[in-house]
Chain A
Amino acid sequence: MGVFAIHILNALLYSSVLFLIAGGLSLIYGVMRILNLAHGNLYALGAFVTAWAIGLALGAGVPNFVLFLLLPAGAIAAAVAGAVIERTLLRPFYKRPEEYQLLMTFGLLMILEDLIRLVWGPNPLSATSVYASLGSISIAGDRYPTYNLVIIAVGIVAAVFLWAFIYRTRFGVFLRATSQDKRMASALGVNVNRIYIQAFTLGCFMAGLGGAIVVPSQSAVLGMGVDALVLAFIVVVIGGLGSLEGALAGALIVGVVREAGITLFPEIELAVLYLIAAVVLLVRPAGLFGRAGT
């Protein structure tokens, strides 16, 4: 029983992080119709910045609770990077064919990958002291790291906040209007350019937050961004590109399958995920929650 509960928690843990990454990717696509191939690198950036900040703080000898306050540093860094990227590199492309947008973000992927290596070197960065400081709790007789529960909580809180943000605020209305019909929204007085930069920044913030909360439990390594991107793709393909509900459902499915796969079919775990994605696409071309015609 305890083992089963732990499997469920692990699946949720995995889903939380995936939701943060894929939700951001999907939000950006939904509003801007841009598929950001460099999205995984912003997740990696979040992880590296947080690990670096925590390392600095530890060196300065600050108490443990302050370290928790440093966790969002990575998310903020990713958001700032996102705002700069949108303003300088993506804006010239909105009127060009999407092939160019994909290429631009692929170029960004290569640049960000190496910039991280340039700044933090090739060795992994870790922030395990935060992870260790919380210790573990007993779940039905088995020990489970308390920090993992923090990650799950952050994932749930992020999902709720995002939902409230998009369906209950004025900004959310603008965002949804832009996503449905950019020209109409613009004609009705929505500043589409501003919505774009806000959406992109928010999406990058989510990816950065994913990286920031994950880094205490696993180190920040080079290549983590590219790996995460591919998983985020599966999530959005299953859930429907551009849909946040879809990202949530997709993240849960991938989280559960992955957790089951690691114990039951480790060799073909990734292949099974892709197979699920392919089947979903054949049955429901726009994904589980996608809108038709995209």
Chain B
Amino acid sequence: MNASGAVAQTAATWRILAWVVPAALLLLVAPLVIDPFQTLTLTYGLIAAIGALGFNLLLGYTGLLSFGHSAFFGGGAYTVAFMVKYLKIASMELFLAGSVLASAIISALFGFVCVRYTRIFFGILTLALSQVLWSLAFKFFWVTGGTDGLRVPTPTLVGMAPTNDKMDFLAHQYYYYVLAVFALCVFLMWVIVHSPFGKALQAIRDNETRAEFIGIRIRRYRLIAFVISGIFTGVAGALWAPLNGLASPDVLVWTFSGEIVFMTVLGGFRTFVGPIVGAIAFTYLKTYAVGFTVYWQLLLGTVLVVLVLALPTGIMGAIERLASKMRKAR
């Protein structure tokens, strides 16, 4: 690398650090400052962010719109519930390992069928396959609890048993646990999208024919991206289950996939941090909309319609546009 390249690289690193360090500090001190309810909402937001990050590897980086990511999120959540119910396991690390395995298997199976298609057909197929899991969870109620779902107690974290005050445990120990997993996931995803593999995915997204021409094996790359994406979303589901206390079919049904799409687009799927910002924003939006009115779907639907009409690049896109305008004005 030549000197100017190295300088540009260092400048870019500094610019990223200037964002990451304050954000990390804020997230670290948050539970000490805000009340437990807020911390729990933030925890939900971080978990959704892991899921959206995984989802965006497909939408933003590979150009595939999945409407079936509820299968992986719900798959992760139900894996935890099954491990509790049938294997009497209580360790969060084992839950995470189990859900990685389960979502890898589910996404490999789904991916095998789905990556043969792109665009709308890919969307329909992922939706249809995810509904198979939903219908199974719904019908085999003696295994899955049906619409009631399965209870998931608070797990032990790194061998540390949950304290008696469940709320306090979730808002502190569990929050930091989720934050650590979140940081690890962000780091891994950053490495993945900046690796040669990530670049190849972007090449496929931008021009399939050219990517094939330079020797990229498109279907295999898409399948690998699909599986990685599924695993991230599965991990999110596994973290969600103990926090929610229940694995229920709500997170398997396809409209939940729609919510994952929604949050990613809300943040902006053209940027790396977009899905993270979108997931946290969406979680707050939904929490307050549900608390504010029974017609929260109407409210969120309107937000989505306005968003797609007026702000298709999402929150991050709007910020970028604003920033470049200010730079020009200067």
B interface SS class: helix
Given contacts A267-B139, A285-B117, contact A277 B261 (CB under 8 A): no
In the complex, which range does the number of interface residues on chain A fall in?
Answer: 35 or more
Residue in contact with B128 in the complex, picked from A118, A237, A269, CB distance below 8 Å: A237
* Chain A-chain B contacts (Cβ-Cβ < 8 Å), number: 119
A224 to chain B minimum Cβ distance, whole angstroms, is: 14
B301 to chain A minimum Cβ distance, whole angstroms, is: 3
Q: Does B300 contact A (CB under 8 A)?
A: yes
Residues A110 and B265 in contact, CB atoms below 8 Å apart: no
What's the tally of chain B residues with a CB closer than 8 Å to chain A? 42
B314 to chain A minimum Cβ distance, whole angstroms, is: 11
Residues A274 and B295 in contact, CB atoms below 8 Å apart: no
Residues A99 and B59 in contact, CB atoms below 8 Å apart: yes
Specify the chain B residue showing the minimal Cβ separation from A29: B120
Q: Does A104 contact B (CB under 8 A)?
A: yes
Contact with A along B200-235 (1 / 0, CB 8 A): 000000000000000000000000000000000000
Given contacts A102-B65, A271-B135, A274-B131, contact A107 B295 (CB under 8 A): no
Q: Does B119 contact A (CB under 8 A)?
A: yes
Chain A residues positioned under 8 Å from B295 (CB to CB): 114, 117-118
Q: Does B9 contact A (CB under 8 A)?
A: no
Q: Does B255 contact A (CB under 8 A)?
A: yes
Q: Does B258 contact A (CB under 8 A)?
A: yes
Given contacts A111-B298, A114-B295, A266-B139, contact A104 B128 (CB under 8 A): no
Given contacts A98-B120, A237-B124, A278-B113, contact A103 B308 (CB under 8 A): yes
Given contacts A98-B119, A102-B65, A241-B121, contact A107 B308 (CB under 8 A): yes
Residue in contact with A96 in the complex, picked from B117, B120, B139, B312, CB distance below 8 Å: B312
Contact with A along B145-177 (1 / 0, CB 8 A): 000000000000000000000000000000000
Most buried by B among A114, A241, A267, A294: A114
Residues B113 and A107 in contact, CB atoms below 8 Å apart: no
Residues A103 and B298 in contact, CB atoms below 8 Å apart: no
Q: Does A115 contact B (CB under 8 A)?
A: yes
A interface SS class: helix
B58 to chain A minimum Cβ distance, whole angstroms, is: 11
Residues A110 and B127 in contact, CB atoms below 8 Å apart: no
B15 to chain A minimum Cβ distance, whole angstroms, is: 29
Specify the chain A residue showing the minimal Cβ separation from B254: A230
Specify the chain B residue showing the minimal Cβ separation from A236: B124
Specify the chain A residue showing the minimal Cβ separation from B142: A267
Residues A114 and B120 in contact, CB atoms below 8 Å apart: no
B124 to chain A minimum Cβ distance, whole angstroms, is: 6
Chain A residues positioned under 8 Å from B139 (CB to CB): 266-270
Specify the chain A residue showing the minimal Cβ separation from B140: A267
Q: Does B123 contact A (CB under 8 A)?
A: yes
Chain B residues positioned under 8 Å from A111 (CB to CB): 297-298, 301-302, 305
Given contacts A114-B297, A233-B124, A278-B113, contact A106 B261 (CB under 8 A): yes
Measured in the bound complex, the distance between the Cα atoms of B139 and A275 in whole Å is 16
Measured in the bound complex, the distance between the Cα atoms of B259 and A107 in whole Å is 10
Measured in the bound complex, the distance between the Cα atoms of B59 and A102 in whole Å is 13
Q: Does A9 contact B (CB under 8 A)?
A: no
Chain B residues positioned under 8 Å from A98 (CB to CB): 119-120
Given contacts A110-B301, A113-B297, A114-B295, contact A274 B119 (CB under 8 A): no
Q: Does B136 contact A (CB under 8 A)?
A: yes
Measured in the bound complex, the distance between the Cα atoms of B294 and A275 in whole Å is 36
Specify the chain B residue showing the minimal Cβ separation from A38: B301
Residues B262 and A103 in contact, CB atoms below 8 Å apart: yes
Q: Does B186 contact A (CB under 8 A)?
A: no
Measured in the bound complex, the distance between the Cα atoms of B117 and A115 in whole Å is 35
A sample of 16 cross-chain residue pairs with beta-carbon separation below 8 angstroms, ordered by A number, consists of A99-B59, A100-B312, A107-B308, A109-B258, A110-B297, A114-B297, A118-B295, A230-B127, A233-B127, A236-B124, A237-B128, A274-B132, A277-B128, A281-B116, A285-B116, A285-B117
A residues sitting closer than 8 Å to B (CB atoms) are: 29, 33, 35, 37, 89, 92, 96, 98-100, 102-104, 106-111, 113-115, 117-118, 226, 230, 233-234, 236-237, 241, 266-271, 274-275, 277-278, 281-282, 285, 294
